[in-house]
Structure 1
Amino acid sequence: MDSLTMKYLKSMAIQYSSVGEACTEIINLQSILNLPKGTEHFISDIHGEYEQFIHILKNGSGAIKNKIDVAYGNTLSNKDKKSLASLIYYPEEKLKLIRKEEDCLEDWYKITFNRLIQISRMVSTKYTRSKVRKALPRDFAYVIEELLNEKADIQNKEAYYNEIIATIIRIGKADDFIIALCDLIQRLVIDHLHIIGDIFDRGPGPHVIMDTLMKYHSVDIQWGNHDILWMGAASGHLACIANVIRISAKHGNLDTLEDGYGINLIPLATFAGEIYGDDPCNAFQVEQNKMLFNQNELELERKMHKAIAIIQFKLEGQIIQKRQEFKMEDRLLLDKIDLSKKILVYNEKEYELKDTNFPTIDWNNPYELSEDEVKLMQRLKQAFINCEKLQRHIRFLLAKGSLYLVYNNNLLYHGCVPLNEDGTFREVEIGEYYYSGKKLYDVLEYNIRKGYYAYDNKEEKTFGQDIIWYIWSNENSPVYGKEKMATFERYFLTDKEIQREKKNYYYNLFEKEEIVNQILKEFGLDTTDTHIINGHMPVELKKGESPIKCNGKLLIIDGGFSKSYQAKTGIAGYTLIYNSYGLRLISHEPFTSKEEVIANESDIHSDTLIVERANIRRFVKDTDIGKDIMERINGLEELLNAYHNGLIKENKK
């Protein structure tokens, strides 16, 4: 036995100091391998729509309703099932209504306790007692554990169990106990959550979503282009900050920055009011929530929108001029403006400008910030850097996130793997070298982390920050995947053709099995019984598009959580459930409100499509966790041999 193996076994012997302890752990781990695989929940492109997100999280994309149906079948009416489901989703709010409506509250408590305990027992059967115990709320852990392990055929304890319930009611803890049971059901119905990118932008509550995710029991995140943009802003990168504020202004969500994160935008409002005082800024409309503003507020929002957009174009131009390896010279448009003719001259073609008021642009150096713009951006930079809540959220994204993830034979990413027209991996210049496929993802992620965390090397940090902006907007970025970001064109030009953003060849090729197999192999996966789970591009169900590509090998689960996309997609988002029986894709109708669910016991209408049904039920041994457990078992068996052969002495206590 080599010295490294002996060192490893001796470290294990500290924890398992006798043959008995090692044997017990082997038996425990071996039994865990034969439990059903935990349920994974996949959600993509939430875009700040926190109410719908939280509801789908609470109902497990219909998993809780399914458990109620399995538990009670035809023995409960649909009304009672809906009432039970709404109670599990929102116990505190629902209990307030129940207390007003129920004539005999004690009877209701007894019936509800039994129903919730039955559901709790059902959702806990996939897990070891140890794992369930860790999930139990502290105040009721012992009581719930007793009730979960109640055996229907043990009559000797019937009075004991009944007295537990009667006592909880008598001492006034019934509501707290119900809330604890409902939280436990929500906790156990989903074992692990995957977020396939784009938590931020468009909708009003990304900060609420981040707070929710930080409390969630098990989650990973594959960054989307909008998440990466906010990482850049949090790092203090000026172009990223300008983009974040512009998008928030465009969608009427400046409150997210001001109230959600406490970032002071008064300097921007003051600057915009002074510079664009008489300018109606008609090209810079607020697309959402118009009814929430009075006319004066709307006018100021448009001015702020325009002010930060012009600053953004200048800052981006500076990066493009500095980083020639980004090959984005075609995005330098301010110097193509002929103000005397009110046109933009691009590729020897003239385009009429919708807006010709540019008071802050020096036409001898159009990408230079004015003195007031410099002061404004420095104040905004300090506000973003010093926002403790934003920094906490971004650090969580970095800790739990990555550009891609291989998990239980699935490859998860947001966007696309950059491809050439012939389907080969596109080579992309980053720094002094060229990268493609998985290596491109890895080098970009390395630089994202440098852009946020590097403090001792200014050059590394600056390059990393510029790479973050590059990932946000470059055609070779795996999380963007379009030949250009036509932001300027949409604001200033009417020609629809120049506004078109051509997609990467990936989106023309992902129905070809050889292409999908090539991608799976590149990331170290077998090509059988594996899938790519993909966010970023809304599936337009109204046009007959399907989220299922390449005979089920690739699933695009962006269905339009964002309200601004729902007119195009025809639905309000896809989610995916992967349990021991297979894969289920769920399409959701728009969410009305939490109040509607509580008062009228409604729910999101969701349609389920079986993507793949397992011929043999999957168990823990078939998962990545199972592989780790088997390695652990192998190590423990080696430790047993070492004990038996006298290589390591037992330390019996």
Structure 2
Amino acid sequence: MEELKLKYLERLSDLYPSIAKASTEIINLQAILNLPKATEHFLTDIHGEYEAFAHVLKNGSGSIRRKINDVFGNTLSTRDKQSLATLIYYPREKMDRIRREEPCMEDWYKITLYRLIEVCKCTMSKYTRSKVRKALPQDFAYVIEELITEKPDLRDKEFYYNAIINSIIETERAEEFIVALSGVIQRLTVDHLHIVGDIYDRGPGPHIIMDRLMQHHSVDIQWGNHDVLWMGAAAGQRGCIANVIRICARYGNLDILEDGYGINLLPLASFAMDTYGEDPCTCFALKGRGGATVREREMEMKMHKAISIIQFKAEGQIIRKNPGFKLEKRNLLHHIDFESGTIEIEGKHYELLDKNFPTVDPEHPYAFSPEEADIMDRLEKAFLNCEKLQAHMRFLLNKGGLYKVYNQNLLYHGCVPLNQDGTLKSVRIYGRAYKGKALYEALESYVRKGYFALDKKERERGKDMMWYIWLHENSPLFGKDKMATFERYFLAEKETHKERKNPYYELLEDESVVNRILQEFGLPAEGTHIINGHVPVKSKAGESPIKCGGKVLVIDGGFSKAYQKETGIAGYTLIYNSYGLILAAHEPFESTEAAIEKESDIHSDSIVVKRTVARKTVGDTDIGRRLREQIQDLNELLGAYRSGLIPEKL
């Protein structure tokens, strides 16, 4: 061990070759430890609503408004502060409108630049100069640094700063400079972004959201079951492919696949028209799809039915291939009496709402017809060969996982599977039993095997496991006894639609259960939190997102318009800054145009979940822990230099 330590210190001496260099780095790191903790932003269940997502990202769930209030207090009117905030969110678009209304742009530029500089100074105060420099746009880096840096030795500071501002205006660079300052404020207001699952499905722009996340300076992602479904589809898992297309069809979002990812759906469309041309497909009506023509809706309803039947067959094949999944009861096609148009489920007979199954062979109900087999072959190749989709999925793999422990918070999307008594539920995966943290890690391992395993059997298992994670009752990302897709399409009886949740959701107010979960993931019971997505909080019915006295925060963003009638609001996001945890409630997002024109904001209310007695510093964070370890190593290097064990490299 001593020999290994000496080798490590020798390597460290390459970076810090002298007592002076090592001492300076220790001083720098100690200074960083005493800076205020940077702001974290938590979003979840975005579900393809890219405009609302972009807006919340720009305003930092109210963080920028709070900065403006801190800087200007009562010296600016509420209207002026809101106008300044909107300018920071949408600088180019806002200036286009101001230019049409403002009689003297030069005065407006001057006032606005000074205001933005003050906000920028406040925003960058918690960072080192080095970090601020890295965030500055290259074209204006020097000038911005001059304007935001105090110069106590200048006799006439006002003249110096005025000269710079006047020069910016005279050279007609004021608008570009305003855009640059707005970008710096957005960049520095929130240091790190957490996405707690479900970027995909329902809304029209998950691919746009993924493009935006790939450009973000600092982000991690806890996968949701919808994300893992798309990952499985990109890996070529046929049950996942069929589900992805069905959900896109259901919500009128086939454009995501065709235009966003360039996946050819023409073979499916032709097959649907040939097979279901005379079928009204009324059970497969679309959710949304405003603006579509009658003919477009009819076509998409037929595609919706075609891919749904293919999905039930594909899933039947997966279930029979994997008896260990214990999902045979979810295979329903062989329970249909095709002559009477009824189905038997758990000993009861129900009449089907749709009795037309032209591609289902009663003798072999889970076998694809030749046409369906050809379509699935084509779709599998299309998903596997789509470069953009593969890039997005690699990003999810690189930046994501099933859970994360970060700054004393435990982040995950769905639920920790529990028994009715609150103990951790044991789940068998390919013959081995797992529970709690070990279950998460085993499932995540199989997701990665589905992409990277060299052994063909292990890769196939990984692909099938992604489908399992999507809908299995023992999946921590789903947590219900069934996904009642077939029943919702084909049966009128509501009792068949019911999906019973895992006991986890009933036990979130039980402190002993919550403490057990925290301890399972290596966190103390006090001073820590679970940050959870997946199930929308029904605020309209009086439900609170704060559970167990603040130990659990269920922050389903409610971005999906499909949920907003049920929840009454557009959900919650969370901010964790140096003063504590702030839960932001949101109103439904109207449009980007309305946000600019009306200077409206969807952030409507803030709830302080936890306020710290003393302002948190970098030293109180995970980064602080790592910095202290570096300081300890550097102190050991100093000791080695001073004892003569390692010579300085002067």
TM range (shorter): over 0.9
1:14-413 matches, within 5 Å, as 14-151=14-151, 154-289=154-289, 291-413=290-412
* Residues 343 and 351 in structure 1, CA contact (< 8 A), matched pair in contact too: yes
Measured after TM superposition, the shift of residue 543 of structure 1 is 1.2
Q: Secondary structure at the match of 1:292?
A: coil
Q: Is the 8 A contact 1:559 1:571 kept in 2?
A: no
Q: Which SS does the other structure have where 1:459 is aligned?
A: helix
Q: CA deviation at 1:157?
A: 3.9
After TM superposition, give the deviation of residue 159 of structure 1 in Å: 2.5
Q: Deviations over 1:309-367 (max 9, x none)?
A: 00000000011111000010110100000011111011221011000100111110100
Q: Match of 1:531? A: 529
Q: TM-score by structure 1 length?
A: 0.98
Distance 1:150 1:433 in 2: 62
- The one-letter code sitting in structure 1 at the alignment partner of 2:565 is A
Contact 1:41-1:192 within 8 A present in 2 as well: yes
Query: Which amino acid letter does the alignment assign opposite residue 464 of structure 1?
Result: G
Residue 100 of structure 1: how far off its partner (Å): 2.0
1:490-569 to 2 correspondence within 5 Å? 490-569=488-567
Q: Paired residue for 1:629? A: 627
Does structure 1 conserve the Cα–Cα contact (< 8 Å) formed by 2:62 and 2:603?
Answer: no
Alpha carbons 2:545, 2:554 under 8 Å: kept: yes
Name the SS of the counterpart of 1:280 in structure 2: coil
Task: Measure how far apart 1:155 and its partner are.
Answer: 3.0
Contact residue 584 and residue 603 of structure 2 kept, 8 A: no
Deviation at 1:112, TM superposition (A): 0.7
Give the deviation of 1:560 after TM superposition.
1.6
Asked if the contact 2:46–2:557 (Cα under 8 Å) also holds between the matched residues in 1, the reply is: no
Gaps of 5+ in 2: none
2:255 alignment partner, SS class: helix
SS of the residue 2:573 aligns to: strand
Amino acid paired to 2:78: N
Indicate the RMSD between aligned Cα atoms, in angstroms: 1.0
| Structure 2 letter corresponding to 1:266 | L
Separation in structure 2 between the aligned mates of residue 497 and residue 566 of structure 1, nearest angstrom: 23
Shift of 1:78: 1.7
Residue pair 2:232, 2:241 contacting (<8 A) in 1 also: yes
Aligned residues of 1:572 and 1:590 also touching (Cα < 8 A): yes
Q: State the match for 2:612 in structure 1.
A: 614
Aligned twin of 2:420 = 421
Once the two structures are TM-superposed, the CA of residue 154 in structure 1 deviates from its matched residue by: 3.8
Alignment correspondent of 1:476: 474
- 2:151 & 2:535 partners in 1: Cα distance? 50
Q: Distance in 1 between matches of 2:463 and 2:377?
A: 16
Tell me by how many angstroms 1:600 deviates.
2.1
Query: SS state of the match for residue 127, structure 2?
Result: coil
Question: How far 1:639 moved relative to its partner?
Answer: 0.4
In structure 2, what residue type is equivalent to 1:332? N
Larger mean CA deviation between 144-153 and 602-611 belongs to 144-153
The partner residue of 1:488 within 486, 489, 496 is: 486
Q: Provide TM-score, normalisation by structure 2.
A: 0.99
User: Contact (CA 8 Å) 1:35, 1:620: kept in 2 or not?
Assistant: yes
- The answer to whether the 8 Å contact 2:33/2:617 transfers is yes
Q: Give 1:591's match in structure 2, choosing from 581, 584, 589.
A: 589
Contact residue 383 and residue 389 of structure 2 kept, 8 A: yes
Deviation at 1:152, TM superposition (A): 7.2
Once residues 587 and 81 of structure 1 are traced to their aligned partners in structure 2, the CA distance between those partners, rounded to angstroms, is: 20
8 Å CA contact retained: 1:559, 1:569: no
The alignment partner of 1:494 has SS state of: coil
- Asked if the contact 1:195–1:219 (Cα under 8 Å) also holds between the matched residues in 2, the reply is yes
Give the SS at the match of 2:48.
Answer: coil
Contact 1:408 1:623 in 2 (8 A): yes
Separation in 2 of the partners of 1:581 and 1:46? 26
For residue 541 of structure 1, what is the amino acid of its counterpart? Answer: S
Runs of at least 5 residues in structure 1 that lack an aligned partner in the other structure? none
Identity of aligned residues (%): 62
